[in-house]
Structure 1
């Protein structure tokens, strides 16, 4: 069988993108020729291409018609509008995976569509309320976990919560704050967020096995349960509590989305769920049901049986249906291309703004560093000036003491000289006195002092 899977965009690690990227290789492994069509290629379609899956996009009309698929498995109405206008004779299956994204809505034009699929009772009710759902047969085709290369774990019991994985592209900020408070209150406990914007990685079994608890929704919740990891269904739309064997069917009715009860546990309730109640979950019994009812290998068998029935039916695309789609697909594509250009321009301006903001931040940091350095140098200068003042005062004090010492020594010398004078020169008309007076007179004349001796 030759078939084309479609998805509006394949540039993010989101729900429908990963649904498509897991299903296409699984169908190829059982011998079918599978290609993928997308209006917005990206790294998910690049990964598929590296695995040998042909990728079609707008402008590949001739290649798509040459591929001549037997069946189109369509996600997202804009893809149906585009492919419905091409010269194809394929059977068409339209699949909806949710009720919140507008892209998951029922198509407005559905000529040639033989079957509609809903991922849950919630989605089935939404499709039934549309004109499409009133005219096209609908059935539930549930989600899965990718069991490729896996075998069931040895039955076990939950251990102590030490490492918690939060897998979400829309991390709830209340959840993040509560987890951080719980982490601070329990040394040795840590939590890690996987998803946009900073940690979008493949959620492989090897990665999840390293954690004791998982907080997530959708297919990752099914994988966690298959690995016997206690899983709390909690996302931006609410919390549905822990997955248990008893609650599995009810949780499936909302595709394990957190929208069944939409509760908002308090911090204390969240702590109790993760640290206490999670240890009471019969993870072995839950894993046994997940493996039996939700493995991708089982889903492929169900899907191939459905494909076979559709191929035996009469409803398909053709010359009569092509006029119903007309140029809608091309009109949408042109509008989408314009939007892509606008988004690219917006992203370029955002990157430029972020670069400028980063430059301003760097300059502010440099300025603050200079201010800090200036303040430190100013303080050092003030400290040095103060020290200099102290040293100057010490020098002045020492100079004063030195002057006093010198004055004291001079006085002693003068006193001693006078004593010698009185002792040896005081006698008038003595020979020594005459010599003394003569020498003193000559010295005064030489210095030009011009005053008479007072002796």
Structure 2
């Protein structure tokens, strides 16, 4: 059976990407032909190709018509539906939070899969028929994630697997108090491992959520389920079945992660019970069982009667209307923010607004200086010029930092927003410092000050014009065009032109 699997990314070894690779490995071992379609390919995709997998980022590069489409993420699934309108599909929901993961009605989709109970409820709330919905929990490649030696009676080393940062201090404080050495891995600390199965065997205790918690338990580590979103507690043989049905995820994180609750969880460490958890996970979460459950769903989907071709075309058009960028406030805006960090206002407008605020502040300082005397005009004018130069340097650094962030916008929109905010804070701090200096400064000649301020405004304007014409801006534009599809860029550019009074491009 040829199975086309779609996913937004195949690059970062994140949750759904690991599932895609795991499913593809299992299908190939079972004698089937998986084909992976992802809009964003990276190191993980290239490594999969080297292992013999078919991995493409364009539907035109798919080497053969699939027998079934395993759809994940609406935007990439839409391309597969349009390319193969007569191929039945199964849609898999991996998150109850993100709109790009949400199930949408389409006659081509004959069956749905949810990875946990929250995703099941999400599917039902979107009108998925319960009789066509299956829950298939995550699995582990037990050959790859081999079992470690028996745990010691007291944990000596702990590993924090993290995609967010709100709980780091609490976990660190609790481990330090218990005399446990703590290491950290994950995007939140800028350290990602492609050999997690090897890393895990060196640790007694792991702090994680979702499939990382499942993998740690399969290896034989004691697991405390928590992250920056909240805290669940120590995974035990008593709560394993329920927690696995929730995918060790956000539905269990009902308390804030504090040092106190982490200490209490560490006190519940039980090497024998952790071993029992590992026995249960390895008995129920094998890759072979995972693949068999998917193949059973595929078989039922292939046996279901096909949807009406006119209804399929109408549904595909409806998906395009929702997911293609338009001036209308539809699902595409939410999906764009989730997938690429795209904001509703162009970055050029944000820069223009920041420059405008700086100019207004300079004008305000000029009006204050008009009231000062001329006795020490030269000294204060030189001081003001130096401070204006500092402000300009700060603006150049902020611009350079933000230009760099534009190249990373698809992967780190949150980081970019923080960086821009830091730049504005630094500008604000410089302006405030200048204000305090001006308040204690004495006498500045009106004519000399006006000349200096006008010169600063002209230099600032020239800097803005030079920036737009520089090679650096051109390279950033090329990166912008490469990272952001034209269909997203065009309406944003038109909006910028209108705001600047230049009319549509």
Place the TM-score, normalised by the shorter chain, in its bin.
0.5 to 0.7
Q: Is the CA contact 1:239–1:259 (under 8 Å) kept in the aligned structure 2?
A: no
CA contact (8 A) 1:237 1:259 kept: no
Q: Following the alignment from structure 1 to structure 2, what is the Cα–Cα distance between the partners of residues 196 and 332?
A: 28
Match of 1:251 in 2: 243
| Structure 1 residue 136, shift from structure 2 partner | 7.2
Distance in 1 (CA, whole Å) between partners of 2:295 and 2:119 is 22
Return closer, same or farther for 1:317/1:78 CA change in 2, 3 Å cut-off.
farther
Preserved CA contact (<8 Å) 1:144 1:296: yes
Assess if the C-alpha contact under 8 Å between 1:89 and 1:317 holds in 2.
Answer: no
* Alpha-carbon separation, structure 2, partners of 1:165 and 1:327: 46
CA 1:113–1:204: 2 relative to 1, 3 Å: same
- How far did 1:317 drift? 8.7
Deviation at 1:203, TM superposition (A): 4.9
Aligned position for 1:29: 29
In 2, the alpha carbon distance for the partners of 1:287 and 1:196 equals: 26
- What's the counterpart of residue 120 of structure 1? 116
Gaps of 5+ in 1: 362-455
Q: After superposition, give the CA deviation of every residue in 1:189-211 in whole Å (9 maximum; x if it has no partner).
A: 32111111411222522210101
TM-score of the aligned structures, taking structure 1 as reference length: 0.68
Alignment equivalent of 1:290, drawn from 274, 281, 296: 281
Deviation, 1:231, is 0.1
Cα deviations across residues 133-156 of structure 1 (Å, max 9, x unaligned)? 1487111111112213455556x4
Counterparts of 2:21 and 2:402 in 1: how far apart (Å)? Answer: 26
Counterpart of 2:312 in structure 1 is: 321
SS of 1:25 mapped into structure 2: helix
**1:75 is aligned to 2:72:** yes
Q: Deviations over 1:316-361 (max 9, x none)?
A: 696762343138559957789999797999964437998xx99xx9
Residues 11 and 43 of structure 2 are in contact (CA less than 8 Å); yes or no, is this contact kept in structure 1? yes
Q: Which residue of 1 aligns with 2:228?
A: 236
Between the two proteins, the alignment pairs up a number of residues equal to 348
Quote the residue 1:129 is aligned against: 125
Match of 2:259 in 1: 267
Structure 2 partner of 1:415: none
Q: Deviations over 1:89-135 (max 9, x none)?
A: 3221000012122222122x41211101111111111110113x148
Per-residue deviation, 1:241? 0.8
The 2-side partners of 1:135 and 1:244 are apart by 31
Q: Judge conservation of contact 1:226–1:287 (CA < 8 Å) in 2.
A: yes
Partner of 2:137: 142
Distance 2:171 2:94 in 1: 29
- Out of 144, 163, 167, which is 2:161 matched to? 167
Alpha-carbon distance in structure 2 between the residues aligned to 1:73 and 1:317: 20
CA distance in 1: counterparts of 2:137 and 2:199, whole angstroms: 24
SS in 2 for 1:72: strand
Once residues 53 and 327 of structure 1 are traced to their aligned partners in structure 2, the CA distance between those partners, rounded to angstroms, is 32
Per-residue displacement from partner, 1:260-300 (whole Å, max 9, x unpaired)?
Answer: 251235423312322x2113651222111101111222111
- CA separation of 1:110 and 1:347: change in aligned 2, threshold 3 A: farther
Aligned alpha-carbon RMSD (Å) = 3.4
Task: State the secondary structure of the residue aligned to 1:232.
Answer: strand
Aligned counterpart, 1:350: 405
- Which residue does the alignment assign to 1:366? none
Asked whether 1:277 is paired with 2:263, we answer: no
Structure 1 residues 317 and 260 mapped into 2: Cα distance closer, same or farther (>3 Å)? farther
Gaps of 5+ in 2: 327-331, 348-400, 408-415, 427-505
Residue 89 of structure 1 is matched in structure 2 by 86
The answer (yes or no) to whether the contact 1:143–1:219 under 8 Å persists in 2 is yes
CA contact (8 A) 1:69 1:88 kept: no
Aligned partners of 1:330, 1:2: CA distance in 2, in Å? 30
| Among candidates 147, 168, 186, match of residue 176 of structure 1 | 168
Contact 1:240 1:259 in 2 (8 A): no
Q: Tell me, what secondary structure is at the counterpart of 2:154?
A: coil
| Deviant stretches of 4+, over 4 Å | 149-154, 316-320, 327-347, 351-354
Using CA pairs under 8 Å that are at least 6 residues apart, name the structure with larger relative contact order, 1 or 2.
1
Q: State the 1:243 CA deviation.
A: 1.0
Confirm or deny: 8 A CA contact 2:88 2:108 kept in the other structure: yes
> Among 275, 291, 299, which residue is 1:300 paired with?
291
Deviation at 1:20, TM superposition (A): 0.9
CA positional deviation for 1:2? 0.5
Name the TM-score, length of structure 2 as normaliser. Answer: 0.61
1:238 and 1:91 mapped to 2: Cα distance?
39
Measured at CA, do residues 149 and 195 of structure 1 come closer, stay the same or move farther in structure 2, by a change above 3 Å?
closer
Distance 1:237 1:317, change over 3 A: farther
Residue 194 (1) aligns with residue 190 (2): no
CA distance in 1, matches of 2:170, 2:145: 34
